[in-house]
Every structure is written in structure tokens, then in C-alpha cells.
Structure 1
């Protein structure tokens, strides 16, 4: 880790998608090295790279933090910067994450707040280096710290037990904000690209119509039945492989009576 003397402007790796810098992740006074490692791993999962540590625990390369970090032990964790809280709030647009919010606008320490999903839509408009700030395992961020932070984020949860583990809270938040770091570069394929072409889907419908006729489905009900099938398969977004498999099954079902 480096200290805050090596950090001057809150800069980080620029997001190749839109030229913006993804938010940094700051952890204030964490007590468990394992939680720091868990957060580093979540950052690696969702494309975040800049980890800022305020009063961190000892992070032994042979210890719990690196053990929990997964592949983040290779870059995110060893490249983490140790900084002071003053430096954090002076050089970043800060978003403090808390489970406890005020119920109305009579106090502005923990209210108003945004959910992580709302932040995902709004943060791209912030023209400043940003940092998501997570607090201690037991008490989170203090009111004094939150009073110096620019805005508040809270995860919707069960009102009877809204407090999440530090690592869990960070993972959920980073997941919701992943597009700020990854853009469209995720592991999952684009469903629009694998959806069966319309001519193939039309053949599925034609085969269904043939099957309804073959089994003597009441003629006055066929139009309604076909409309229902179109709605079902329209919601399903069949892949080409799925559509071809259905075509084969329907064809065999249609031809089977003729074989007897």
C-alpha cells in the first residue's frame, strides 16, 4: 500500500466505455482484514480498481485479507492506497453507505439518501472523482463522518433487520454500479444476439398450428390458442437452438399418427 502523500487528485484508471473514471471504493477503519479482502474481490468481480483504506487493519500477504481476495490479491489489494479521512472528503465526491437512515427531512445527516440502483443512473452526471465510502463492521460511519460526506446511499432491506455485513453491503452496491466500471463488457452474452431469428420462430408457430389441426383441437379455439402460444414464446426469447429443438419435437408429434 501507498500513503496519501502519493495521491494528489483522486485519479484512477479511466473507463474505456465513456472516458469516465469509475468510482473509487473507500473503507474506513475496518477491523477485519477478511472484510477488506472480500471488498477487494467484489471490486475485481465488477470492474472497480481503486481501493482507498482509511485506518486499515494489518493486511498480511499471508493472512486473511489476501486469502479472501481471490484474484484481487494480484492487483486491487496490493495497489490499495492508505489515506486519511480528510484527504478523502477533500479530493472526492463522496457517497457514504449506511443501513440507518432518518425517516424524514428534519435531519440531513442520513437523509435524503439514494439506493445503489438510483446511484447507477445519476453518478455518471457527476463531474468529479467519486468514492463509495463504507464504514466499520459494527457501527458503520459515524454521524460526524457522514456530516462531511456529500451524499448518502442505503440498500433497501427488511425494516426489522436492515444491517448487512460490511462485505455483503459492498458487494451488493458494486453489483448495482457495475455498469459504471464495466459498461457492456460483462461475461454474460447479449440475449438479443442469441435470440432465434424471426423466420425460425414463425416456423415454430406454423408447426404448432399443424399440430393443433392434427390432434383435432376445436377449430373455434385454435386462434385463441395460437395467440396464447405467441405470448408464451414471445416472453421466452427462444434461442435458435431451443427453437430448432422445439421444431424437431413438434414435427415428430405431428408425424407420429401417420406412422400408425
Structure 2
């Protein structure tokens, strides 16, 4: 993994709100260096600070205004675009990579990289893309592949988060799913209560066997948690207690 996180560059953003949204996404996924090319006026009363969340404390106020030439001359550049309807005969928007592929590629090189996003309405022009080193596109519906600026940056930075947070980033917030499944003894106990309930409402052996087999397959795929299996066990235990055998209902 590169020791220097990529910088995020936004070319001629039209609204302060989108700048704030991008700053917030950067904060979420471990990016901190925001550079703006010909941005609108941004003050602390603008939408930018309203949309930035905790990024209003550092990412946004530390943002640097630069020129497009400065970015091209000082960084390995990756331009983001939704329109990639070209082939090997032209190389303005082709070949292109996806953010996930880009994350794997950049993790293997030591370089100063700039992730370059364009305008809300028109994105990056062909003239600008021609000056960038790589092109990246977010896979989306062929009928409507265009994301707005804030969405595109958020999706891209999420996919690139391993460049800033490391490969073990999921471990910082998500539970260890391999240890969340209930103990097998508890699951077997649930099966016992369910089978007892089933024997009281279904007296055909082949039906009970088929239902138990289906239940095992269902629970096996679901990987229930301890709380889930305890709740289900209690439910069928009470149901079994309340269901009277047919001979006692006469």
C-alpha cells in the first residue's frame, strides 16, 4: 500500500453543497487532502459546511485552491467519468478501470495520486481527460449511468478506502461474522423443540421428516445468531406446551 494517500481534486464544482458532500465522504473513508480547481465561494455559512459533517473541522477548511495544470504536473492522475462509450480505436475515455480495480492497482505502486472529479453538469471534458493518466468509471445501469458529483465521489472513495484505511478496515466496525453463529448445541436444542411441536400437529411420518429436513436446510443457510435461536426456541417451546394432542381435544 502506498504510504501517501491520494488527494481528491474537484474541477470547477458549481455548488458549495457538493464540495461539502465530497469532504464528508473523504472523512468517512480516510482521505484528507482536498484540492479545488476554480471553486465557488465557500464560507462557513454556506451549504458546504452544512453538508460536510465532521469534515467541516479539517478536510473542508484545509482545502487548497489549485490549477488544473498544477494537478497534471505534480500527480499521477485518475479522471472519473460516467461516459465510456469508446473502444480501442480511441483513447480519450478508453481503456478505463473501475474503482475496485483501481484500488488494487494503486496499492501496488508508490506514487502521488490525484483522483480528479469534474463538474456537476458536464463532468470532465475530453480535453481534460486527454491530459490525465488513467480513466475510471463506476459501473451502473446502461440506461442511466450518470451519477451526480457527490454520489460519484462517495462511491469511488468507498471502493478506494483500502488505500487509506488498510485491508482490515472491515474489522474496525463490523462484527466477526464467523463467530456470530449460535452454538451448535443451542441450534440442536431448537430442532428438538420444533420437532416436538411438529409431532403434535402433523402425524404423518414422511411429512414430519420432510419438514425437519427443510428446516435444517433453512437454518443452515441462515446462520442464526445466539439471540435469534434463543427466541425461536422459546417460541416453539411455548407453542408445543399449548398445543394439545388430538386425543385430549375430544
Q: Quick check: TM above 0.5?
A: yes
Change (3 A) 1:148 1:252: same
- From 226, 251, 257, the counterpart of 2:237: 251
Deviation at 1:127, TM superposition (A): 2.6
Contact 2:12 2:39 in 1 (8 A): yes
Deviation at 1:80, TM superposition (A): 1.6
Q: TM-score, normalised by structure 1?
A: 0.83
Matched residue of 1:184: which SS? helix
Change (3 A) 1:238 1:20: farther
- From 99, 105, 113, the counterpart of 1:122: 105
Unpaired runs of 5+ residues, structure 1, are 1-17
Please name the residue that 1:158 is paired with. 141
- Structure 1 window deviating more from structure 2 (42-51 vs 219-228): it is 219-228
- From 40, 44, 65, the counterpart of 1:82: 65
Please name the residue that 1:141 is paired with. 124
Change (3 A) 1:121 1:253: farther
Deviation at 1:166, TM superposition (A): 0.9
- Structure 1 window deviating more from structure 2 (178-187 vs 223-232): it is 178-187
Change (3 A) 1:237 1:49: farther
Deviation at 1:186, TM superposition (A): 4.8
Change (3 A) 1:160 1:202: same
- From 175, 181, 200, the counterpart of 1:189: 175
Contact 2:77 2:132 in 1 (8 A): yes
Aligned residues: 243
Partner Cα distance (1:120, 1:201) in 2 = 40
Q: Which runs of 4+ in 1 moved over 6 A?
A: none
Partner Cα distance (1:134, 1:110) in 2 = 14
- From 193, 196, 200, the counterpart of 2:186: 200
